[in-house]
Amino acid sequence: MAILADEKTRIIVQGITGREAAAATRDSLEYGAKVVAGVTPGKGGAEVYGVPVYDTVQAAVEAHPADASVVSVPAAFARDAAMEALETGIRLVVILTERIPRRDVVEVTTRAREREARVVGPNSLGLISPDRTRVGMVGGRAADVRKAYMRGPVGIQSRSGGMTTEIANLLTQHGIGQSTCVSIGGDPIVGSTYVDLMPLFEADPETRVMVIFGEPGGGRFADEMPGVRFGHAAAIVEGEQGSTRGKIARLRQAGVLVAEEFSEIVELVRQSLG
């Protein structure tokens, strides 16, 4: 089975008439995802690649009950869009929009917890359960998704949507499939962290290994520049606090296999699979 979404998941897209959202809708449909409705205020009655558009989430889900929403709207409107989805009972909200004000993100994630819902993102490309569904735009065009991803026992989490696909593609080239792959988002505050999602992967009988790709300390060069603060994809280094060296040491102490080079991932996964 997959975590978060599978072939039965019914999806709406907020901001569906936008260029990127429309393209993502087309590619998701081609991949087999059940995109049942879209929402753009003032565009109700239109269609995007055969998907009906409504003015509100409430109207959309009344006509087409849904489990997940993809939010692809300007940052200034992202809070309201996500809140609207949560208030209508959507249990999974994937926010593609980046640079949303932090206070807005905190309000959305707080409300999601109150509603017992899950938020992925912001600044995420979404998630994919290979050969079952895609929620968002991770992997790009449907043809590219089919080449990069295949169904199997490895779960993937990354802040980077691009690296999510790069890791999946590397594994696929070596005959190793994936269960669920999640781009958690690169903004400083995200709705679901690595730690938040780990129990879901652990409880999934299909997932036997998890690959996490982050930016621990912004790169090894940060270790050689004491006193300099680096921040990228929410990584902050001040001296030894948050350094690559320190994080790797702690991970290894906890029994985590750490790849020194990207190419080592395949062998470490094979080792873990036994």
Q: Which residues are catalytic?
A: 232
Chain mean position to CA 73: 16
Buried b (16+ CB within 10 A) or exposed e, 122-151: bbbbbbbbbbbbbbbbbbbebeebbebbbe
Distance CA 50, CA 229 (A): 49
Closest CA to 157 of 193, 191, 188, 130: 193
**CA 105/CA 96 separation, integer angstroms:** 12
Backbone torsions φ then ψ of 28, nearest 5 degrees:
-65, -40
Q: Are 94 and 68 in contact (CB under 8 A)?
A: yes
Q: Which two tokens stand for residue 271?
A: 């080792």
3-state helix/strand/coil string of 110-173:
HHHHHCCCEEECCCCCEEEECCCEEEECCCCCHHHHHHHCCEEEEEEEECCHHHHHHHHHHHHH
Instruction: Please tell me the distance from the alpha carbon of residue 137 to that of residue 23, in angstroms, as a whole number.
Output: 9
- Tell me how far CA of residue 196 lies from CA of 160, 192, 237, 245, 254, in angstroms: 17, 6, 23, 24, 18
Which of 133, 135, 137, 172 lies closest to 154 in space, CA to CA?
172
